[in-house]
Structure 1
Amino acid sequence: MTVTSPDLIDVESGARVAVNPRRRRRKRRVGTNVLAIVFSLIWIFPVYWMINTALKPRPEVMTPTPLFLPVHPTLDNFIAAVTQTNFFEALRNSVIVVFGALIVAVALSLFASAALSRFRFRGRKTIMVIILAIQMLPGTALLIPQFLIFNDLNLVGTFAGLMLAYVATVLPFSIWVMRGFFVAIPVEIEEAAMMDGASTWRTLWSVLFPLVAPGVISASVFGFITAWNDYLVAYTFMKEPSQYTLPIWLSSFSTPTTGTDYGGQMAASVLFALPVVIFFMIIQRNLVTGMSAGAVKG
């Protein structure tokens, strides 16, 4: 039986007009690409405007008519941002808190996801449901109970308390992501390692953990971005200005007496976002692969 391509019928002559499937697919692809370009322009416009404002002198920033390109581009705003009070202090605080929280969160989520996916014990499903429920709660709903508990433990105003707050924020998501990777690993690999004489710890360390490296990357990126960009938790937990992190430092460009230095604030925002953008561009392929692979099973 021969299969013919779908045709169109001319209304006036009644003749069949052949339709080219390749042309139809090309038109559909063009429409999809145009839609993707429009959405990309909408999403990238705030980033463009931030960089554009950072390169303008103050008179051009405050013009009634927006300037889509700086007439006299300058780096003075970046110099003012770097020389702003407490910049390096805030940078140091962010690095200490973010990387400390990241190491603890990844280590805990790695062992927790291995236990929840590989070991059978009473209450395992209940723990998984609780973790999922905590992940669905908004962070602001947990902020006040967290603050009261940490205040009783004398952890408010300390880097250790802020690290633990960030660990509690990113841990549920990290556990679920890594658990998907552990579930996707065939059990026969573990059985083969144990038949060769490997202990449970040796199997986890030498066999399973290397296989879930993409999941570790995905969880690390999520934890890094969450902790690096946080303002509310850091502002609530830290008491002294010398303990503030970079997101809180950005608010120093707006004061009741002098107003808001928009150029300096945008330049500081560019410097603040640059490490995240560079890091994301380097590992974006591993991140997409990790997120999709970890979501296959769960």
Structure 2
Amino acid sequence: MRRSPASRVLLTVLALAVALVWAFPVYWMLNSAFLPNVVLQSTTPTFVPFGGSLDNLRTVLTDPAFSRALGTSLVVTLTTVVAALCIAFLGALAISRFRFRGRTSFVLALLLIQMLPAEGLFIAQYKMMSELGLLNRSIALAVLYTAAVVPFTIWMLRGFVAGIPVELEEAAMVDGLSRTKAFMKITFPLLAPGLVASGVYAFLQAWNEFTVALVIMTEEQSRTLPLWLRGFVQASASRETDWGQVMAASTLVALPVIVFFLIVQGRMSSGLVGGAVKG
């Protein structure tokens, strides 16, 4: 059904309005990061930071706790992404390419695990890590995050693996390649978009997670960035809240996610195009 020019213009304007509503809180956070607290508390809003400065960002960046929390978050997140992708890739390959006893039960278990509330596991997770002596350790948080994201990541990658015809590998094997080489040269490149999408999911879950880290990382020097940000806000609230510094801290916490997504988005698009050509 072809739409009239007037309806297309109306839909475009509506989409732009929705996009602006969605993007405005992000812009307001960035704008507030450059404004002093006295301007932010004014009854007249300032939509453009004319006369603003980098003082808020400088204050946050010079905080030793920020650097420590940033390092912890990077270690935990990167470990989670690598571990989750390795495990999920093998799991998705197994349930998509092979038929074995318990395969259906395993797939159903992946779905049921997603229904478990995270809060119901806190006590067991805390006791397990305490008995292993891993409280306030980055490896403990990475293990728990990996266990949390692997089921959905397997389910996501399963669709990508199942969408690649096995006949491609069989044709390569007829041409003389071994099964391993056929998979690595034919199937694996076509899985790049799925691996990137799964990596983005794992990265976002590990970077922004708060509640599990709050239970496991009880010491101040082992806090991740979400925990540090909460402590930063509470420290500011003990006196007059400096919203400029709070917004600057929030911007610095969100910035790696934005940069990572922008980088990966281009690679995801190129991977989709490359996969379509090779297929």
Task: Give the TM-score category using the shorter length.
Answer: 0.7 to 0.9
CA deviation after TM superposition for structure 1 residue 32, in Å: 0.8
* Gap regions ≥5 residues in structure 2: 273-279
Alignment of 1:175-254 (within 5 A): 175-196=154-175, 198-251=177-230, 252-254=232-234
TM-score w.r.t. length of structure 2:
0.88
CA distance in 2, matches of 1:146, 1:199: 43
Matched, 1:277 2:258: yes
Matched, 1:151 2:151: no
Out of 101, 106, 111, the residue aligned to residue 122 of structure 1 is 101
Q: Relative contact order (C-alpha < 8 Å, sep 6+): which is higher?
A: 2
- Pairwise CA RMSD: 2.4
Range that drifts further, 152-161 or 90-99: 152-161
CA deviation after TM superposition for structure 1 residue 154, in Å: 2.8
Alignment of 1:6-155 (within 5 A): 25-155=4-134
- 1:105-133 CA distance string (max 9 Å, x none): 11000111000100110010111111112
Give, as a single letter, the amino acid of the residue that structure 2 aligns with 1:132: L
| C-alpha contact (below 8 Å) 2:192/2:268 kept by paired residues | no
Q: Rate the CA distance shift 1:198–1:138 in 2: closer, same or farther, 3 A.
A: farther
- The answer for the alignment partner of 2:238 in structure 1 is 257
How many positions carry a matched residue from both structures? 271
Q: Rate the CA distance shift 1:202–1:71 in 2: closer, same or farther, 3 A.
A: closer
CA deviation after TM superposition for structure 1 residue 259, in Å: 4.2
Range that drifts further, 151-160 or 199-208: 199-208
CA distance in 1, matches of 2:256, 2:106: 35
| C-alpha contact (below 8 Å) 2:190/2:271 kept by paired residues | no
Structure with greater helix share of residues: 2
CA distance in 2, matches of 1:197, 1:142: 50
- 1:27-70 CA distance string (max 9 Å, x none): 11011112111111111111011011111112112223433333
CA distance in 2, matches of 1:193, 1:146: 46
Q: Rate the CA distance shift 1:244–1:263 in 2: closer, same or farther, 3 A.
A: same
Question: Equivalent residue of 1:185, what SS?
Answer: coil
Question: Equivalent residue of 1:254, what SS?
Answer: helix
- 1:169-198 CA distance string (max 9 Å, x none): 211121111111110111112223444554
CA distance in 2, matches of 1:273, 1:81: 14
Give, as a single letter, the amino acid of the residue that structure 1 aligns with 2:249: A
* Gap regions ≥5 residues in structure 1: 1-20, 292-298
Range that drifts further, 59-68 or 252-261: 252-261
| C-alpha contact (below 8 Å) 1:215/1:290 kept by paired residues | no
CA distance in 2, matches of 1:137, 1:290: 34
| C-alpha contact (below 8 Å) 1:177/1:219 kept by paired residues | yes
